[in-house]
Amino acid sequence: MNLSRRLGTLPTHVTIITVVLIWTIPTIATIVNSFRPPALVGTTGWWTAFLPPFAFTFENYERVLTTNNMGTSFLNSLTIVIPATFIPIAVAAIAAYAFAWMSFPLRNTLFLLLVGLIVVPLQVTLVPVLQAYQNLGLTGTFLAVWLAHTGYGLPFAIYLLRNFFGALPKDLFEAASIDGAGTLTTFFRLVLPLSVPALASITIFQFLWVWNDLLVALIFLGGAPDVAPLTVTVSNLVNSLGQDWQRLTAAAFISTALPLVVFLSLQRYFVRGILAGSVKG
């Protein structure tokens, strides 16, 4: 492969670096502020932290990490997020495959309905679902949130996966069926492995959205300390008048740690060339 093209041209580098810098400034500003004493944060800009006197402090992070219940909340968040990520992806994958490669009446209509459902605002679903949960006795259980996040995450997941599944070359399927592969084999041995970037993408998003969710957890699970996820505990670092918001930013960065780990570890699946060479066999 041509090395110079691989390395990119100067305009490319300049563009990317400029954009990335602009993108990161707000985050850097906040990280710097999270290490400054609250009295200074309200009166001086964050850039002054790099001039004398160098007044840095860990007190915000200390407060956050020693807050009651941080460990349990983290565990609760994990308890919520892991199933709430994988169940919707599993359900979406099998549905997306059907929408992409099976023909049946109403296929397009149903699919469009699903896409349309992305717009349904979360708030209008809360009371009906809560009432149903009350009747089923599910309120306050983790199962309630797992199911809810599955329902809410499905429309986008199906939309995205169908797009990628549908982009697979038709010849692949024909070749597979000539080889005698049934639907199941095609799905598990062909479609899924070839769609790893797409699956990685939706995993990241679903994980993130559930990890950062506050409302669904508060309504269906409740905010009691033994089940409260990190988002609830973090939002309670700020008092009702908005005091101590700098703890919020410190906590936000701490809670970003895990999603970033997930994101970075899934980066390896954004590789090109999975399809390369597979067309002609």
Partner 1 sequence: MVRSSLARPVAALFVFALLIAACGPSPRAVQGGLGGTVSVLATWGGDEQASFLAMVKPFEDQYGVKVQYEGTRDLNAILSTRVQGGNPPDVAGLPGPGQMSQFAKAGKLIDLGNVLDMNAMKDEYPESFLKLAQVDGKQVGIFIKAALKGPIWYNPKQFTAKGYAVPKTWDELITLSKKIADSGTTPWCIGFESAAASGWPGTDWLEDIVLRQSGPDVYDQWWQGTKKWTSPEIKKAWETFGTIIADPKMVLGGKNAMLATAFGDSGNPLFSNPPRCFLHHQASFITDFFTKANPSIKSGEDFNFFMTPDIDTKYAGAVTGAGDLFGMFKDTPQARALMNYLTTPAAQAIWVKRGGALSPDKKVTEYPDKISSDSAKALTSAKIFRFDASDLMPEAMNAAFWKAILDYTNDPTKLDSILASLDKVQADSYKK
Partner 2 sequence: MIDRIPQVAAALVLPVAALVGYIVVAEWILHRLPERARPRVRPWVWIGPALAFVGFFLIAPAIETIFLSLMDATSTNFVGINNYVAVLSDSNVHIAIRNNLFWWIVFFTGFVLIDGLVIAVLADRVRYEGLAKSLIFLPQAISFVAAGTIWKFIYSYQPPGVEQTGTLNAITVFFGGDPQPWLTQAPTNNLLLIIVGVWAWAGFATVILSAALKGVPVELLEAARLDGASETMVFRQIVFPLLLPTITVVATTLVIFALKAFDVVYVMTNGNFDTEVLANRMYKEMFTARNYGRASAVAVLLLTGIVPVLIFNLRRFREQEAIR
Burial class (CB in 10 A: 0-12, 13-18, 19+), 188: exposed
206 is a site residue for partner 1 (CB under 8 A): no
Query: If phi over 0 gives left and psi between -120 and 50 gives alpha, with beta otherwise, what is residue 67?
Result: beta
38 is a site residue for partner 1 (CB under 8 A): yes
16 is a site residue for partner 1 (CB under 8 A): no
Residue 169 gets which letter from DSSP?
A: -
Residue from 38, 139, 142, 192 in contact with partner 2 (CB under 8 A) = 142
277 is a site residue for partner 1 (CB under 8 A): no
* Cα gap 10→4, rounded to integer Å: 11
164-223: contacts with partner 2 (CB under 8 A): 164, 166-167, 170, 182-184, 187, 197-198, 200-201, 204-205, 208, 212, 214
Task: Write down the residue that tokens 């692949």 correspond to.
Answer: 172
Among partner 2, partner 1, none, the one that 136 touches (CB under a kind-dependent 5 to 8 A) is none
Stretch touching partner 1 by CB under 8 A, among 94-102, 133-141, 146-154, 161-169:
133-141
80-109: contacts with partner 2 (CB under 8 A): 82-83, 86-87, 90-92, 94-95, 97-99, 102-104, 107-108
Element (H, E) at 249: helix 245-266
55-84: contacts with partner 2 (CB under 8 A): 72, 75, 78-79, 82-83
* Cα gap 158→167, rounded to integer Å: 14
Residue among 69, 99, 92, 78 nearest 224 (CA): 69
* Cα gap 195→166, rounded to integer Å: 10
* Cα gap 6→44, rounded to integer Å: 44
Binding site residues, partner 1, CB under 8 A: 38-39, 42-43, 68-72, 74-75, 78, 82, 86, 123, 126-127, 129-131, 133-134, 139-140, 193, 196, 199-200, 203, 215, 218-219, 222-226, 228, 232, 235-244, 247, 258, 261-262, 265-266, 268-269
